[in-house]
Copies of this chain bind each other. A is one copy, B any other.
Amino acid sequence: MASGVSFSVSATDGRARTGALVTPRGAIRTPAFMPVGTAATVKAMLPENVRETGADILLGNTYHLMLRPGAERVARLGGLHRFMNWDGPILTDSGGFQVMSLADLRKLTEEGVTFRSHVDGSKHMLSPESSMEIQRLLGSDIVMCFDECPALPAPRERVADSMRLSMRWAARSRDAFGDRPGHALFGIQQGGLEQDLRAESAEALTAIGFDGYAIGGLAVGEGQDAMFGVLDHAPQMLPADRPRYLMGVGKPDDIVGAVRRGVDMFDCVLPSRSGRTGQALTRRGAVNIKNARHADDPRPLDPDCPCPCCRSYSRAYLHHVFKAGEIISSMLMTWHNLHYYQELMQGLRDAIAEERLDAFAQGFERRRAGGDLDPL
């Protein structure tokens, strides 16, 4: 791996692994969930409180940050860590996925993507080389290769062409990244739902050589069964001594299933976005706080949860502040959801270390299925 960055597996249980990815800015305990800090903030949270939930690392979005406030500006201000007051590791995506889903008038060529900003209409270019430069300016600890992927379902030929373009871009990303001690570069496997294309992609990436490997192009509309179908094979195609990161995933049960299939790292906007829209994620399933039945309920979201939201606030209060459009609703429910996700990751890490992941996963499913006598 890059000097100054190391990954070690301390225990396995079936295909699942637990360990740590160590960077100069701190260790990332795996399996790890990375809260998403799109525009240099995990929405509705102070970074010290994100840390308190148990997060070791945040994700930042290159596309958003390059447009506003701009990567050069962030660099002048001392880098993204200082800018957003987070001194732990930061992983940045490459901008490839977001430019294809958010930008206006985008045009894809072998060179890269030209597009207009969704913020102010200004014209921009993203390529493997410019993405590496932007992520360097941001000060990212874990840099992602510039790639491209189709929404699923997509014709096999489209998936194959896209994957091969991404592999050529992966080689250019590797060249452009160069040698940056203390900073890691991850390749991204593509290939949609096609096992042979996934294998071809894994081979191409492994030949180039990366500090870690992401599984990309999932959680784009294919459904959990199809995703797990890919994950039954894809992680094993990637080097066992490097971290495996499933991008943009997912719901709690997606994560449990993916960890069992050998995935080490995750990111998703779900806990923070759900928090803002009034959905709490708990050990006993989802709670829609908008529902009128919560208006007089003195219980917390989850009586067994030690987070600040559950320690001090009733569902009746959360229902009230959500209905009243108060900011504290987003603050408290995001905090709970991020805490729940980190607690889930700690549970998974402990279960793997103690070789009881099957029992953990069964208990997880039983609680979600409403086995509790006091339904939420």
Contacts and interface: CB of A to CB of B under 8 A. Distances in A.
Interface in A58-100: 68-69, 73, 76-78, 83-85
B43 A326 contact: yes
Given A77-B316, A331-B331, 20 more contacts: A39-B320, A39-B321, A39-B326, A40-B317, A40-B321, A43-B327, A43-B328, A44-B327, A46-B308, A68-B320, A68-B324, A69-B316, A69-B319, A73-B295, A76-B296, A77-B314, A83-B316, A85-B312, A85-B313, A327-B331
A77 B296 contact: yes
A332 B320 CA distance: 23
Interface of A: 39-41, 43-46, 68-69, 73, 76-78, 83-85, 295-296, 298, 308, 312-314, 316-317, 319-321, 323-324, 326-328, 330-332
A319 B83 CA distance: 11
Copies in the complex: 2
Contacts of A45: 328
Contacts of A314: 77, 83
Interface centre among A44, A46, A296, A308 (most CB of B within 10 A): A46
A298 B78 contact: yes
A43 B331 CA distance: 11
Nearest to A312: B85
Contacts of A327: 41, 43-44, 327, 330-331
Nearest to A313: B85
